[in-house]
Structure 1
């Protein structure tokens, strides 16, 4: 029987556990661990109520590699699914190496003291995982994750060559709050306020955060303003598909979100360096996280849909072709199924699928891998079967911006 350890009891962790429980024949014995065990117990109770499957729970400090390794040994897990904070990726990878355990995550490592997320820290583990005969699968969420697989699918089935790639992430949902983030506020705001980079003609082009805005008419959702950002899948895709001449990432934000974020930046609340307050050091962004709505609670009020996908222009049979591979996900349907809104759902489901493919041997290897390095077909098939069906549209022309 397979034994799996899931670390992280936020909104994504809850989705992962619910979806694993739906495939108990693959996942066998699952343990959910977090710094706060009571959160794990709450999720386990909800899974028992909804699906009737028992989930084990544990407490762990994922910043402590030795403690994490001890828990891996205690559970007998052969796979660790990391849906904790990206600051903890390396300590969990160290614990996997120490215990001979395969590894999967949904977001790449970034240091706590700098809003800089890059793969080179995790790619540096390649030799150690390879020599240990272990597999580490990086970025098995939606973006990164599904967007990487959409690219691999297009290269395998739709285009002979990909010249340009634009990843468009649209959340058309409304949670009814004045200002809230749909996943961990600290990670979200660090990401949004970071300097923008995109890949063009073999090099990175840098622009100020939120400086490039475009309107796009998304399928089902309608027209939304989207802003160019940097996202980690651009780094791995430009490495593994060097034919791509330009790769960009876009995310939609409403005017109210932008207004609140600008004010918070202007008054220093998005700072990640410590400041003194009443004789103690605090980090403003972490304090802001404490007073903002909990993303895990937004599912109860969020209505609307997400639309996330890739627009890719290249060549097929000697002619230029532009394809759009995308998914539409409904917030209310997600909440009805697993008690979470669509942003958590679209990350948690791909994490479950990546783990299932590793456990069944459909995806295997020795070393550190990004999603686009794997055969896209079994992953795309499972997306259709487990709540994230995808569509392909051929567009009349490339994007005109």
Structure 2
């Protein structure tokens, strides 16, 4: 018997609940909570229709620790899965410590007033979780998440040392909208408009936002796409945990149309997180922009094409140089047909379910705060093939 409480009813939350419901022998009870209960109810209804599983739903303010504690005490879950916004990571970790419940999320904490993706705030919980005998698993999405596991898999089975790592994220899908983001617009835009950063010989090197690009030829007829260097949080933990790493970078594809819209919005101040006064109220322009952009969940039936996310790794095995590409390709249409969401939500929601499964089945155990690459990659890699995100590896 295992009971999971999922907090967050966006696209990723929806996929995770659907996928958990497909494995009732592991997820015997699934509870779903969010600030907006109506969103939870819509997901629960879809799950009931597709699987026959009943998902109880609740309203909760994840910023409010006492309120969250009350809900946890009522449900008594074995695991809390945080699929809310990164701003809520610390309050939910506090609630887990107070109630003695294991914790998992898909994205690292970010303060509201600064676009700063760092693990330091969550790593600071290491001793408290250890002393409480609890486990906190950080970043069980795709990137971060699967990309970390790909690196751990390569380290375990293919390399003695990995010297160079390029994580390359391509969304070759099209939703037909003038401008829209495939996950929470606020988080997405904050991520893209901050300065780029990569790991080089023991230190971080900064670049201007989207100043570096390269063309990469993606497999299986996706073809050549322009990729831009960005900072992404998994680089921070991989630089610590992957043996011999001399350089680590993260790349993402964007269309010219997307970047043109983004540049205009940035130039007129719409992407700013600095509050301005409007009608006697202080508002962040980016929050207003988020309100007028298409809801990411609405893009599911509109999006056609595929994603391709993977790691290109160069290193040494038995004294010889080796280069390996491990990747997944996911179809937007197939994801929508299965769970009613596009592939961006699917590629994050499935690993969230798998991370939860690893913890609930005891495949991954520990006391303290863990990043994905610190745990055995084999059962996770096996589960990816089984539950909708099959991977391939090619020597280059």
1:180-231 CA deviation, whole Å, 9 max, x = no partner?
A: 0000000000000011110000000011111001111111211111100000
Question: What's the offset of the Cα at 1:374?
Answer: 0.4
Identify the residue that residue 115 of structure 2 maps to in structure 1: 115
SS in 1 for 2:26: helix
* Cα distance in 2, alignment partners of residues 392 and 120 from structure 1: 32
Matches within 5 A, 1:210-249: 210-220=210-220, 221-249=222-250
In the TM superposition, structure 1's runs of 4+ consecutive aligned residues that sit over 2 Å from their partners are none
* Cα distance in 1, alignment partners of residues 284 and 233 from structure 2: 25
* Cα distance in 1, alignment partners of residues 389 and 330 from structure 2: 7
* Cα distance in 2, alignment partners of residues 83 and 242 from structure 1: 30
Identify the residue that residue 349 of structure 1 maps to in structure 2: 350
2:185 maps to 1:173: no
* Cα distance in 1, alignment partners of residues 38 and 265 from structure 2: 32
* Cα distance in 1, alignment partners of residues 242 and 64 from structure 2: 36
* Cα distance in 2, alignment partners of residues 264 and 226 from structure 1: 21
Identify the residue that residue 371 of structure 1 maps to in structure 2: 372
SS in 2 for 1:224: strand
SS in 1 for 2:162: strand
Identify the residue that residue 162 of structure 2 maps to in structure 1: 162
1:348-385 CA deviation, whole Å, 9 max, x = no partner?
A: 00000000010000000000000000000000000000
Question: What's the offset of the Cα at 1:265?
Answer: 0.4
Q: Is the 8 A contact 2:162 2:243 kept in 1?
A: no
- TM-score norm. by structure 2 comes to 0.99
SS in 2 for 1:364: coil
SS in 2 for 1:20: helix
Identify the residue that residue 50 of structure 1 maps to in structure 2: 50
SS in 1 for 2:251: strand
Identify the residue that residue 388 of structure 2 maps to in structure 1: 387
* Cα distance in 2, alignment partners of residues 204 and 65 from structure 1: 35
Identify the residue that residue 398 of structure 1 maps to in structure 2: none
* Cα distance in 2, alignment partners of residues 135 and 331 from structure 1: 33
Question: What's the offset of the Cα at 1:299?
Answer: 0.7
* Cα distance in 2, alignment partners of residues 117 and 31 from structure 1: 29
SS in 1 for 2:25: helix
* Cα distance in 1, alignment partners of residues 281 and 93 from structure 2: 32
* Cα distance in 2, alignment partners of residues 2 and 388 from structure 1: 24
* Cα distance in 2, alignment partners of residues 25 and 251 from structure 1: 37
- Point out where structure 1 has 5 or more consecutive residues left out of the alignment: 396-401
Identify the residue that residue 18 of structure 2 maps to in structure 1: 18
SS in 2 for 1:108: coil
Question: What's the offset of the Cα at 1:171?
Answer: 0.2
Matches within 5 A, 1:94-109: 94-109=94-109
* Cα distance in 2, alignment partners of residues 66 and 256 from structure 1: 45
Matches within 5 A, 1:143-158: 143-158=143-158
Q: Is the 8 A contact 2:79 2:102 kept in 1?
A: yes
Identify the residue that residue 262 of structure 1 maps to in structure 2: 263
* Cα distance in 2, alignment partners of residues 380 and 393 from structure 1: 15
* Cα distance in 2, alignment partners of residues 168 and 239 from structure 1: 20
Identify the residue that residue 68 of structure 1 maps to in structure 2: 68
Identify the residue that residue 399 of structure 1 maps to in structure 2: none
Identify the residue that residue 141 of structure 1 maps to in structure 2: 141
**In the comparison of the two structures, how many residue pairs are matched?**
395
Question: What's the offset of the Cα at 1:152?
Answer: 0.2
* Cα distance in 2, alignment partners of residues 51 and 218 from structure 1: 35
Question: What's the offset of the Cα at 1:242?
Answer: 4.7
Identify the residue that residue 329 of structure 1 maps to in structure 2: 330
* Cα distance in 1, alignment partners of residues 125 and 17 from structure 2: 27
Question: What's the offset of the Cα at 1:282?
Answer: 1.1
Matches within 5 A, 1:280-319: 280-319=281-320
* Cα distance in 1, alignment partners of residues 70 and 394 from structure 2: 49
Q: Is the 8 A contact 2:306 2:331 kept in 1?
A: yes
Identify the residue that residue 90 of structure 2 maps to in structure 1: 90
1:16-36 CA deviation, whole Å, 9 max, x = no partner?
A: 000000011101111100000
* Cα distance in 2, alignment partners of residues 175 and 224 from structure 1: 17
- TM-score norm. by structure 1 comes to 0.98
